[in-house]
Amino acid sequence: MTSLPFTAETETILSAIEHSKTIHLSGLKGSAPALLLSRLALLNQGAFIIISDDFQKSRDLCRDVAAYFEILHPRKPVPELLTLPPLPRLAYRQTLRSGRIERERISVLTRIRNLNNFLCFTTIAAYSDRLP
């Protein structure tokens, strides 16, 4: 099996996962997010929710994670990847009073509860402070 390059940053992220299920990917570049998610998928044997401020990048990341996972762990089932559309920060502030954000949050939490072991990877603050 191929070993992944674990840096101090990766170790910090893995440590953070033990205390919180939300991680910010904004500082990770290149293939690092997909490699990290692939490694975590093996450790957690669960599903991931990937939320990004760029929906296309989020979908691409899902694709890359599945590809890396198949290469690195060919005998393991590929983890479930759920991509959710982002809530722009401006929209978050503008619609907080209208209740739309609360409806979105309930919808997201409902989808999360249907997954067994999940991690949420997000670059958007509107979600990160609202997930369990």
pTM for the model stands at 0.45
Q: 2-6, 35-39, 61-65, 66-70: which range is least confident on average?
A: 2-6
49, 120 in Cβ contact below 8 A? yes
Whether residue 126 is predicted with pLDDT greater than 70 in this model: the reply is no
The three-state secondary structure class of 125 is helix
Q: Where does the pLDDT of residue 124 fall: very low under 50, low under 70, confident under 90, or very high at 90 and above?
A: very low
Residue 32 corresponds to which amino acid?
A: A
> Hey, what are 92's tokens?
């978050």
98, 92 in Cβ contact below 8 A? no
Cα separation, 124 vs 31, whole angstroms: 20
Which letter does DSSP use for residue 78 in this model? P
The three-state secondary structure class of 95 is helix
Summarize pLDDT for 17-44 with one digit per residue, the tens: 444 444 455 555 566 666 666 666 665 5
Whether residue 97 is predicted with pLDDT greater than 60 in this model: the reply is no
